[in-house]
Structure 1
């Protein structure tokens, strides 16, 4: 739907609703941004696309996602 232009954004309650492993939401956001779309979550608003000159943006998003991955894995008994 993003590729065809039918939609231009995806909204979820929080990033871990995209997927339970950190690498999966990162990949999903990459695809959204590749089609010039927006990724939004109710808890944080828009997730800005990565920029080569702003590595902190990527770091902070991944640092916040790490504990979410651990929390989901711990609660599921994995």
Structure 2
């Protein structure tokens, strides 16, 4: 909870880039989309805990927008 979103994204991007390079073939597309969704959900839960919001997945669209504007890479797309 101490780090900000930009720092977490900077730490996570090399891992995402590596997964995308290693698993980035068409047959794994469905699984990679699930991992992308999992990353969004975990970031939303983290963001809401940081802001002391009770509902874990409230404002998921807002967090999603902030993540990708901050430069988070996607596994698919």
* TM-score normalised according to structure 1 size: 0.40
Name the structure with the higher strand share. Answer: 1
* Larger fraction in helix: 2
How does the TM-score come out when normalised to structure 2? 0.40
